[in-house]
Homo-oligomer: A and B are copies of this chain.
Amino acid sequence: MDIRDYIEEHAPEFFASLTEWLAIPSISADPDRHADVAGSADWLRTYLLEAGFPTAEVWPTGEPGAPGLPAVFAEWPSASPDAPVVLIYGHHDVQPVEPLEEWESPPFVPVQDGDLLLGRGSSDDKGQVLFHALGVRAGLAASGESAPPVTLKLLIEGEEESGSPHFAGLLRDRRDRLRCDVIVVTDTTMWAADVPSMCVGMRGVVSAEISVAGPERDLHSGSFGGAVPNPLHVLADMLSGLHDSDGRVTIPGFYDNVLPLSDAERELIARLPFDERAWLAEAGHSGATSGEAGYGTLERVWTRPTAEVNGMWGGHTGTGGKTIVPARAHAKLSFRLVANQEPGDIIAGFRQYVREHTPAGIEATVEAESDGVRPCFSPMDSPAVRAGRRAMERAFGAEILFTREGGSGPEADLADILEAPLVFVAVGLDSDRIHAPNERVSMSLLLKGAEAAAYLWDELAAVASELTARR
């Protein structure tokens, strides 16, 4: 039986199951819903067993005294011991639903509206997790085999919407069982329903706070103003000097390890139908874009690192005036990182920058995260991305373009700890209203996702030797 036919035939039962799962309010951020997160894990484990996975387990996380929320692990070994091992990553917890009054239908009573299925988690991420089960069934039906051409592992965590606090620990603890040759992430978006695309990278991030100290106490600006260094002036100088006139970050060594944007990726980004005006409107920004010279807006948010001031304060901030030279000034900064920048290097460079910009009479201290989130990136010409792209092309019958994401999830931990390349195969849309009221998903796109997943195992098997060469 043809893969597409199988999926079409089994769509009604797929959506019935998904509807059942979506009804479980697995909000990881809400302690009152933690039993539901556990219930969601149990539901998924049972479902995967019924779908044919020989193994499906609920994995607790955290420490005995301080437990986290459970993940689900499932495995379906290939008949061939040499086949690549593929780990599929997703999550079964969902975002909170406030403000509840803005939902047009109750968030945990899924309803269909034309091609849309509405409900919390329909796109992020239950719908996208579940299409893999349909995809593997379709692949087996088409091939007539009893096992997939690659060894499939699923790891579906329950704390992604709460910052994945126990995820890295889980990966380290279960490293042996999670061992894999490639990681398929199913928690991103495509450019548009009619512009199918794959994500190939995410920026990392690392944060720091700077404190600038001058006099012991606020000084009268009549008596001292103009003759002692003002911490607010020093901080303004430091923050202003962080970028040169080309919008480039001036921190020593900041760009040293940046992997340049390839001409090929650049050309594909340029082909995305990007409406800058609409993008600005979405940001509530009536004005103009700005940033590093030589790069377009998408290139800037996807492929270039930043130094961003997130907050600053110092001196008198209440009503009225106060003519002081203030004692202290502070700022919070975060740096978005791209491959192959290391958070530790960036913080070291920032400390050096601050030292070099601290005038006499001023003390400046930097407190920074010890780790941060590393960037992740999968080159377009890597075997996994090539295979993923072919699978998507077969499902959509169209050229697949490439995107990246400006922000970060736990994906870098996956790649770092499991030492395997990432490939992002997902069919969510920016219009799915994830994290917002009235989350929805296109049912036809979920079926396309199942189809792409079904092709993906063949395509990955076809590049098996390249994928397993690192073993």
Does A217 touch B at the CB level, under 8 Å? yes
Instruction: Find A226's partner among B220, B237, B239, B291 (CB 8 Å cutoff).
Output: B291
Q: Size band of the A side of the interface? A: 35 or more
**Those of A352-394 within 8 Å (CB) of chain B:** 359-363, 369
Does A62 touch B at the CB level, under 8 Å? no
- Which residues of chain B have C-beta atoms less than 8 A from A227's C-beta? 289-291, 297, 300-301
- Which residues of chain B have C-beta atoms less than 8 A from A269's C-beta? none
Nearest-CB distance from A328 to chain B (Å)?
11
Nearest-CB distance from A288 to chain B (Å)?
4
Q: Which of A8-16, A22-30, A311-319 contacts B (4 or more CB under 8 A)?
A: A311-319
B336 touches A225 (CB 8 A): yes
Does A175 touch B at the CB level, under 8 Å? no
Measured CB to CB, the nearest residue on chain B to A218 is B310
- Which residues of chain B have C-beta atoms less than 8 A from A297's C-beta? 227
In the bound assembly, the distance between CA atoms of A66 and B389 in angstroms comes to 79
Does A188 touch B at the CB level, under 8 Å? no
A308 touches B215 (CB 8 A): no
Q: Which of A111-119, A139-147, A279-287 contacts B (4 or more CB under 8 A)?
A: A279-287
Does A304 touch B at the CB level, under 8 Å? yes
- Which residues of chain B have C-beta atoms less than 8 A from A215's C-beta? 283-285
B232 touches A309 (CB 8 A): yes
- Which residues of chain B have C-beta atoms less than 8 A from A291's C-beta? 226-228
- With known contacts A240-B241, A286-B361, A232–B292 Cβ distance under 8 A: no
- Which residues of chain B have C-beta atoms less than 8 A from A205's C-beta? 221-222, 323
B222 touches A285 (CB 8 A): no
- Which residues of chain B have C-beta atoms less than 8 A from A122's C-beta? none
B223 touches A361 (CB 8 A): no
Best-surrounded residue of A226, A236, A314, A327 (most CB of chain B within 10 A): A226
Per-residue 0/1 for A315-332: is the Cβ within 8 Å of any B Cβ (1 yes, 0 no)? 111000111111101111
Does A207 touch B at the CB level, under 8 Å? yes
Instruction: Find A308's partner among B243, B283, B313, B325 (CB 8 Å cutoff).
Output: B325
A334 touches B359 (CB 8 A): no
A311 touches B317 (CB 8 A): yes
In the bound assembly, the distance between CA atoms of A309 and B234 in angstroms comes to 10
Does A406 touch B at the CB level, under 8 Å? yes
A312 touches B313 (CB 8 A): yes
Instruction: Find A322's partner among B288, B332, B405 (CB 8 Å cutoff).
Output: B332
**Those of A27-52 within 8 Å (CB) of chain B:** none
A312 touches B309 (CB 8 A): no
Nearest-CB distance from A290 to chain B (Å)?
5
A311 touches B300 (CB 8 A): no
In the bound assembly, the distance between CA atoms of A284 and B326 in angstroms comes to 12
Measured CB to CB, the nearest residue on chain B to A221 is B308
In the bound assembly, the distance between CA atoms of A231 and B231 in angstroms comes to 20
Nearest-CB distance from A375 to chain B (Å)?
11
Does A407 touch B at the CB level, under 8 Å? yes
Per-residue 0/1 for A203-222: is the Cβ within 8 Å of any B Cβ (1 yes, 0 no)? 10101010000111101111
Does A174 touch B at the CB level, under 8 Å? no
B287 touches A408 (CB 8 A): no
- With known contacts A205-B323, A312-B317, A325-B308, A287–B221 Cβ distance under 8 A: no
B223 touches A407 (CB 8 A): yes
- Which residues of chain B have C-beta atoms less than 8 A from A220's C-beta? 406-407
Does A277 touch B at the CB level, under 8 Å? no
- Which residues of chain B have C-beta atoms less than 8 A from A172's C-beta? none
B361 touches A290 (CB 8 A): yes
A221 touches B306 (CB 8 A): yes
B301 touches A336 (CB 8 A): no
**Those of A238-256 within 8 Å (CB) of chain B:** 239-243
- Which residues of chain B have C-beta atoms less than 8 A from A222's C-beta? 203, 205, 301, 336, 405-408
Best-surrounded residue of A222, A223, A326 (most CB of chain B within 10 A): A222
Chain A interface residues (CB < 8 Å from chain B) = 203, 205, 207, 209, 214-217, 219-230, 232-233, 235-237, 239-243, 280, 283-292, 297, 300-301, 304-306, 308-317, 321-327, 329-332, 334, 336, 359-363, 369, 405-408
Interchain residue pairs with CB less than 8 A apart (11): A220-B406, A222-B405, A226-B291, A226-B406, A236-B239, A236-B309, A236-B312, A287-B361, A288-B361, A290-B360, A309-B315
